[in-house]
Amino acid sequence: MGRLYELTSPEAIIKVIESVYIHRHEQNLRGEEENYRMLVEIMRSPELYKALTGSSLKGDCDPKLDKLSPEEQARYKHLEKLEQGGFDVEALKKRLLDDKDEDA
């Protein structure tokens, strides 16, 4: 359970675990085995695990910032300074990152 609690976005892993349980409940042994093997493969592959659950890095190391242009990165850093000053700019930061995700 510790691995799930420490994840940024555990929804994908939880869905795979739920699918194993559902197939077991329905007595679908082939489906249960297939989903269990998928879960084991995810847990054994750190790259896949991280790709499914997201990064927990924040600040300058955040992988989401890699997609931003230098001007957008400067705006993001300015928003972080405002946030440190006590302003609520979380929605603006989220919109800046979401707009870039939609463009990609």
Helix H, strand E, coil C: the string for 27-65 is: CCHHHHHHHHHHHHHHHHCHHHHHHHHCCCCCHHHCHHH
Residue 3's φ and ψ, nearest 5 degrees, are -65, -40
Same-domain pairing of 40 and 77: no
Same-domain pairing of 42 and 85: no
Same-domain pairing of 15 and 42: yes
Question: Across residues 99-104, what is the average pLDDT?
Answer: 59
Same-domain pairing of 64 and 40: no
Same-domain pairing of 33 and 7: yes
- pLDDT at res. 76: 81
34-50 residue pLDDT tens = 999 999 999 899 888 88
Residue 7 token pair: 């994840």
Same-domain pairing of 9 and 49: yes
Same-domain pairing of 45 and 7: yes
Same-domain pairing of 83 and 42: no
Structural domain including 90 reads: 59-103
Please give the model's pTM, rounded to 2 decimal places: 0.56
Question: Across residues 52-81, what is the average pLDDT?
Answer: 75
Same-domain pairing of 49 and 74: no
Contact between 19 and 11 (Cβ < 8 Å):
no
Tell me the one-letter amino acid at 83.
Answer: E
Count Cβ atoms within 10 A of the Cβ of residue 16 and give its class: 0-12 exposed, 13-18 middle, 19 or more buried: middle
What does the alpha-carbon distance between residue 43 and residue 21 come to, in Å, rounded to a whole number?
17
| Count of structural domains within the chain | 2
